[in-house]
């Protein structure tokens, strides 16, 4: 493949994920995005959840076809002149470390905020993760068909709580029952909303120019005048869009709309395809790898096990960093130092569902994994590279795990360590006891671990509560100081699945005190694979 052809393919890729608090509208907006990407034909045959079911069932078929749970993990579709990859970030109960790690595999994020509620907990957490790489953020203020909070106040809240400047690209005209549409600041157009059209791509009425008398006639002279006055204030008080600041993660363009009413989602997609970065270069331990390099490289950011015990197969999700994947190619599994044949990778083209034969930098492919692939593994066409920055995140939930049959301790430990290598869960072994502590980011991970221990290792285990608030990886270059720290904190120290030293804190207060007493010890909330 010539360099320019490769370049063209790479340049049109946009790979992003959605960050939001549960119920802000991620599923609904995903469905509308797929509608615009022509990956589904109609959305929302029934109102509300029914519409979500529709998107789901479309993907369930695919799951059946492939005999593995890839449901909505990655959705690829064309929009404008781009090929967009939307990576699913598990939310609700299925929230897990995978959610965090997926954010390290994208080039930009869409932040969806319920405009009646503003910035919520989960969004705060996920934004913290995007800050590790200064990922560019696009914001969608959702649910304008409901009574929302003052839009200016919402922008202020995002700025102060998430520490990112806001540049409104569209501005709402009313909300709730009085929602009339948005004024698109960049296009100088008012785009009018019609309710009850959420299942289709709308032919919205567009009025060019803020001072156009047609606007007065369409939405009422008073409302039109209020809008003009408000916009004058907004323009004075908010930031103008700046592409450089967006790319460095310091400023977010903000769109308003309703995902349920399918209004404003296309404005956001236009912004995303125009401004969001194409596949970016990535650092390795030796050099930076550019997306348009001819040789293939990629890293694994997530491993998904099939919960169906009849299929022991797992899929390793790999983000392609450079070059092109072709079916049947040989790749070097760098950690094992082995060449492997990739004959049947899964690709994720939405819509026609045919298995694409090739994939490019920016795309995600799924490798069948029989236990030899771990999170963070790098694959190349020969070079010994290791991509940096695919972290473990400190778990937020902890339980002691215990065997029903004490004779299977060895199998339990083996299972837990393998599951932790796979990134499904984290395991900690306190230095001073024989306890085994399981740590997770989401509650569902606990059930999944017990189910897999039973199915794959024939181990019956159960949990007991344990008084642990958080864990931190211990790092220090000064051996003497590290020794002293270890001596004084034996009771709180443990080894993780990879034998790394961790500090197990019963409370956050304890953690803070310990950090104050030992300022030279690095107690880290993330650890690189
Ligand atoms: P999530 O994936 O982020 O958790 O959110 P999801 O899309 O499932 O949306 C959560 C709820 O919010 C859904 O309602 C959905 O219909 C609703 N919703 C999403 N976008 C909008 C919007 O723009 N306007 C309004 N009014 N509602 C929106 P639900 O839980 O199914 O309840 P129901 O209202 O359908 O009964």
Looking from the CA of residue 48, the nearest atom of ligand 1 is 35
| Neighbouring-strand partners of residue 34 | none
Answer yes or no: is the C-beta of 135 below 6 A from any ligand 1 atom: no
Dump strand ranges (E) for 345-486.
Answer: 358-360, 364-369, 378-380, 391-393, 397-403, 426-430, 437-440, 461-465, 470-475
Q: pLDDT by residue (tens digit) across 463-499?
A: 999 999 999 999 999 999 999 999 999 999 999 998 9
Residue-wise burial string across 303-334, b where 16 or more C-beta atoms lie within 10 A, e elsewhere = bbbbeeeeeeebbbbbbbbbbbbeeeeebbbb
pLDDT band at 390 (very low <50, low <70, confident <90, very high): confident
pLDDT band at 424 (very low <50, low <70, confident <90, very high): confident
- Average pLDDT of 26-53? 66
d(CA 249, CA 131): 8
Answer yes or no: is the C-beta of 143 below 6 A from any ligand 1 atom: yes
- Average pLDDT of 232-246? 96
**How much of the chain is helix, strand and coil, in % rounded to 5?**
30, 30, 40
What pLDDT, on the 0 to 100 scale, is given for residue 62?
Answer: 37
* Bridging pattern class, strands 251-256 and 137-142: parallel
Of 175, 147, 198, the closest CA to residue 43 belongs to: 198
Q: In this structure, what token pair is assigned to residue 147?
A: 């009574």
Distance 490 CA to ligand 1 centre (A): 48
Of 492, 6, 91, 5, the closest CA to residue 290 belongs to: 6
What pLDDT, on the 0 to 100 scale, is given for residue 435?
Answer: 92
- Average pLDDT of 154-175? 98
- Average pLDDT of 189-209? 93
Which of 26, 28, 45 gets mutated to test ligand 1 (max ligand atoms within 8 A of its CB)?
28
Distance 251 CA to ligand 1 centre (A): 27
User: Per-residue pLDDT for 393 more than 60?
Assistant: yes
d(CA 397, CA 332): 36
Kind plus residue range of the DSSP H or E element containing 283? strand 282-283
Distance 28 CA to ligand 1 centre (A): 6
Answer yes or no: is the C-beta of 264 below 6 A from any ligand 1 atom: no
What pLDDT, on the 0 to 100 scale, is given for residue 327?
Answer: 85
Looking from the CA of residue 258, the nearest atom of ligand 1 is 23
- Average pLDDT of 16-20? 97
* Bridging pattern class, strands 82-87 and 74-79: antiparallel
Which of 17, 19, 23, 177 gets mutated to test ligand 1 (max ligand atoms within 8 A of its CB)?
23
Nearest alpha carbon, ligand 1 atom 9: 25
3-class secondary-structure state, position 408: helix
User: Per-residue pLDDT for 309 more than 70?
Assistant: no
What pLDDT, on the 0 to 100 scale, is given for residue 67?
Answer: 35
pLDDT band at 282 (very low <50, low <70, confident <90, very high): very high
Q: In this structure, what token pair is assigned to residue 258?
A: 């309703």
- Largest pairwise CA distance in the chain: 82
Answer yes or no: is the C-beta of 435 below 6 A from any ligand 1 atom: no
3-class secondary-structure state, position 491: helix
276 has binding-site annotation? no
How far CA 202 is from CA of 205, 261, 490, in Å, comes to 9, 10, 64
Looking at 174-178, 181-185, 198-202, which range is the least confident one?
198-202
Of 319, 270, 306, the closest CA to residue 82 belongs to: 270
Distance 104 CA to ligand 1 centre (A): 27
- Average pLDDT of 443-449? 87
292 has binding-site annotation? no
Q: In this structure, what token pair is assigned to residue 409?
A: 């301790």
145 has binding-site annotation? yes
89 has binding-site annotation? yes
* Bridging pattern class, strands 137-142 and 108-114: parallel
- Average pLDDT of 377-392? 92
What pLDDT, on the 0 to 100 scale, is given for residue 350?
Answer: 61
Residue-wise burial string across 211-220, b where 16 or more C-beta atoms lie within 10 A, e elsewhere = eeeebbebbe
What pLDDT, on the 0 to 100 scale, is given for residue 161?
Answer: 97
- Average pLDDT of 33-40? 83
pLDDT, averaged across the chain = 89
DSSP 497: T
d(CA 230, CA 171): 10
Q: pLDDT by residue (tens digit) across 88-145?
A: 888 777 788 889 999 999 999 999 999 999 999 999 999 999 999 999 999 999 999 9
What pLDDT, on the 0 to 100 scale, is given for residue 61?
Answer: 43
184 has binding-site annotation? no
pLDDT band at 183 (very low <50, low <70, confident <90, very high): very high
User: Per-residue pLDDT for 332 more than 80?
Assistant: yes
């Amino acid at each position: 493949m010539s360099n320019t052809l490769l370049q063209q393919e790479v340049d049109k890729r946009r790979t992003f994920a959605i960050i939001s608090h549960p119920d802000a509208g991620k599923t609904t907006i995903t469905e509308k995005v797929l509608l615009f990407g022509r990956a589904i034909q109609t959305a929302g045959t029934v109102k509300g959840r029914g519409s979500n079911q529709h998107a789901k069932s479309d993907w369930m078929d695919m799951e059946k076809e492939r005999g593995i749970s890839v449901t909505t993990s990655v959705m690829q579709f064309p929009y404008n002149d781009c090929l967009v990859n939307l990576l699913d970030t598990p939310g609700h109960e299925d929230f897990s470390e995978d959610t965090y790690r997926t954010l390290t595999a994208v080039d930009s994020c869409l932040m969806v905020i319920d405009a009646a509620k503003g910035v919520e907990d989960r969004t705060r957490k996920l934004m913290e993760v995007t800050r590790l790489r200064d990922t560019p953020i696009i914001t969608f203020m959702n649910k304008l068909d409901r009574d929302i909070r003052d839009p200016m106040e919402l922008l202020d809240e995002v700025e102060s709580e998430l520490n990112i400047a806001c540049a409104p690209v569209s501005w709402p005209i009313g909300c709730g029952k009085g929602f009339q549409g948005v004024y698109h600041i960049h296009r100088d157009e008012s785009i009018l909303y019609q309710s009850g059209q959420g299942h289709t791509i709308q032919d919205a009425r567009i009025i060019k120019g803020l001072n156009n008398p047609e606007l007065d006639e369409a939405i009422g002279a008073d409302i039109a005048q209020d809008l003009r006055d408000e916009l004058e204030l907004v323009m004075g008080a908010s930031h103008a869009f700046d592409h450089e600041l967006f790319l460095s993660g310091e400023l977010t363009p903000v769109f308003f709309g309703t995902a349920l009413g399918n209004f404003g989602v296309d404005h956001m997609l236009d912004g995303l395809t125009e401004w969001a970065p194409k596949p970016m270069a990535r650092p390795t331990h030796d050099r930076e790898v550019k997306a348009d390099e001819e040789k293939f490289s990629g890293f694994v950011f997530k491993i998904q096990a099939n919960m169906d015990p009849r299929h022991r197969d797992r899929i390793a999700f790999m983000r392609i960093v450079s070059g092109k994947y072709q079916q049947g190619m040989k790749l070097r599994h760098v950690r094992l130092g082995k060449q492997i044949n990739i004959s049947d990778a899964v690709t994720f083209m939405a819509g026609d569902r045919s298995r694409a034969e090739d994939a490019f930098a920016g795309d995600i492919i799924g490798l069948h994994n029989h236990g030899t692939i771990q999170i963070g593994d790098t694959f190349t066409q020969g070079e010994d590279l290791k991509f940096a920055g695919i972290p473990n995140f400190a778990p937020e939930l902890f339980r002691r795990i215990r065997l029903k049959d004490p004779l299977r301790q060895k199998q339990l430990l083996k299972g837990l360590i393998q599951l932790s290598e796979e990134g499904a869960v984290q395991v900690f072994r306190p230095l001073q006891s024989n306890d085994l502590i399981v740590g997770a980011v989401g509650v569902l991970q606990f059930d999944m671990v017990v189910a897999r221990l039973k199915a794959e290792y024939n181990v019956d285990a159960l949990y007991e509560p344990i008084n642990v608030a958080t864990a931190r990886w211990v790092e220090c270059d000064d051996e003497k100081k590290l020794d002293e720290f270890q001596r004084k904190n034996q009771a709180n120290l443990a080894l993780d699945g990879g034998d790394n030293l961790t500090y197990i804190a019963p409370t956050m207060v304890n953690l803070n005190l310990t950090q104050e007493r030992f300022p030279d010890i690095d107690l880290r909330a993330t650890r690189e694979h």
